[in-house]
């Protein structure tokens, strides 16, 4: 398995072993060296980092081995000169990972030594967090709750030291999700949303998928979904409305916003109206989006606004996109039907059929599903109003047009 590990400011991609699982015993904190020895230790460590950099710049196995050996010797001198130099242990942990064939057990041991010496050593915590995250099997079908708990603890340390670290909050959100901890997932997503722009996205994409985005903006849709699933509908509406205003074609966001709107009061529904209007204005042929806007308006007590907007949109599209115009007429009919305004509902549904030129025989195969949908709505509206004779007349008409005797049960 190949993935990225970051420590002491270096990034490389090489093979890694997968010996995870056991806690590493760390020796007592060593005594801090004198200023002169500490200076020598830093010099040796910098020499080792130079060889690490050279190691990352070649694909030659022989050159890699040489530079890895030189880096190891330099880091060893640094630790011998100043055993309290946590940065040297962090660099050695990095080397254990990137130098072929990779030794994750040594990396865990050395990184644990580094954080034992300096609990605020973010590089070591990040190495531990990444190793435990990889070992947890997150985003796979071999998830380990025990390894995930270790990863969570380390990512929390990374976030403690760097509160706006996007990778820490993103992985905490994913791990809490796998651990079935929705409240903690939501809290992590909120922090991710307020995080800095990422510098290194390689490891996150390696674990979560090449299409995944580590930028804070990517947290919005995940937060909206988590809030909806947790029943926190007001914040879900606010969050998802912003997502849709920026990305009107985000089908997942539209779907979850529809779910959230179905469970909120008029005041909360009104929060979605303006962002949806903005999105629908830019993409009037997006029927799902236009329908969602109408539902938000109706739910917020602004039925006439919904009617007016749908009427104008359908008329505007009539000359350029009759298919979209017909679909908007269906949405308008649904709004009327929901308000119990049967004549207006039927008029809108019939206008939708005429817009698609459905009325003569036979109905084109490309129009058949649409015709069945609309005729079914007209019949249902009449039946709900107890106008059974009208419902039966439309049923018989639909059967003739569609040449299907058993269509629409009596």
CATH number of the domain residue 407 falls in: 1.25.40
Q: Domain tally for the chain? A: 1
Report if residue 297 sits inside a domain.
Answer: no
Range of 352's domain? 302-410
Report if residue 136 sits inside a domain.
Answer: no
Could you tell me the CA-to-CA distances from 205 to 58, 200, 214, 388 in Å, in that order?
23, 10, 8, 59
Report if residue 326 sits inside a domain.
Answer: yes
Alpha-carbon span 18 to 2, nearest angstrom: 11
1 Cβ partners below 8 Å, 6+ apart? 15, 16, 18, 134
Alpha-carbon span 74 to 45, nearest angstrom: 6
Report if residue 213 sits inside a domain.
Answer: no
The length of the chain is 410
Token pair of 40 as six digits: 């020598």
| pLDDT tens per residue across all 410 residues of the chain | 333 333 333 333 222 232 223 333 334 556 677 888 888 888 988 998 898 888 888 888 888 888 888 988 889 898 888 888 999 999 999 998 888 888 899 999 999 999 999 999 999 999 999 999 999 999 999 999 999 999 999 999 999 999 999 999 999 999 999 999 999 999 999 999 999 999 999 999 999 999 999 999 999 999 999 999 999 999 999 999 999 998 998 999 999 999 999 999 999 999 999 999 999 988 888 999 999 999 999 999 999 999 999 999 999 999 899 999 999 999 999 999 999 999 999 999 999 999 999 987 778 889 999 999 999 999 999 999 999 999 999 999 999 888 887 888 76
């Amino acid at each position: 398995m190949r993935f990225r590990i970051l420590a002491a400011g270096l990034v490389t991609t090489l093979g890694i072993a997968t010996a995870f699982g056991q806690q590493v015993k760390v020796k007592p904190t060593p005594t801090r060296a004198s200023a002169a020895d500490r200076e020598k230790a830093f010099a040796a460590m910098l020499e080792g980092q130079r060889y690490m950099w050279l190691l990352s710049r070649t694909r030659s196995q022989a050159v890699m081995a040489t530079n890895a050996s030189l880096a190891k010797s330099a880091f060893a001198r640094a630790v011998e000169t100043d055993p309290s130099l946590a940065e040297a242990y962090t660099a050695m942990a990095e080397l254990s990972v990137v130098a072929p064939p990779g030794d994750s057990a040594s990396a865990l041991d050395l990184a644990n030594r580094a954080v034992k010496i300096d609990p605020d050593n973010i590089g070591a915590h990040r190495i531990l967090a990444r190793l435990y995250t990889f070992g947890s099997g997150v985003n796979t079908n071999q998830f380990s709750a025990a390894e995930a708990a270790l990863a969570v603890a380390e990512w929390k340390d990374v976030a403690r030291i760097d509160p706006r670290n996007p990778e820490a909050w993103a992985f905490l959100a994913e791990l809490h999700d796998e651990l079935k901890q929705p409240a903690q997932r939501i809290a992590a997503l909120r922090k991710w949303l307020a995080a800095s722009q990422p510098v290194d996205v390689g490891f996150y994409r390696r674990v979560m998928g090449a299409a995944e985005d580590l930028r804070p903006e990517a947290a919005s849709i995940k937060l909206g979904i988590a809030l909806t699933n947790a029943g926190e509908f007001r914040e879900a509406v606010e969050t998802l409305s912003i997502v849709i205003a920026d990305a009107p074609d985000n089908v997942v966001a539209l779907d979850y916003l529809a779910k959230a709107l179905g469970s909120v009061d008029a005041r909360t529904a009104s929060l979605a109206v303006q962002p949806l209007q903005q999105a629908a204005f830019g993409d009037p042929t997006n029927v799902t989006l236009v329908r969602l806007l109408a539902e938000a308006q109706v739910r917020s007590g602004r039925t006439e606004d919904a009617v007016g907007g749908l009427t104008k949109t359908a008329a505007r599209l009539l000359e350029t996109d009759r298919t979209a115009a017909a679909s908007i007429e269906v949405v308008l009919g649904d709004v009327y039907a929901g308000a119990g305004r049967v004549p207006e509902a039927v008029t809108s549904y019939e206008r939708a059929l005429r817009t698609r030129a459905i009325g003569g025989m036979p109905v084109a195969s490309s129009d058949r599903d649409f015709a069945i949908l609309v005729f079914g709505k007209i019949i249902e509206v009449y039946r709900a109003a107890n106008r059974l004779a009208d419902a039966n007349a439309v049923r018989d008409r639909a059967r003739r047009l569609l040449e299907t005797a058993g269509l629409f049960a009596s």
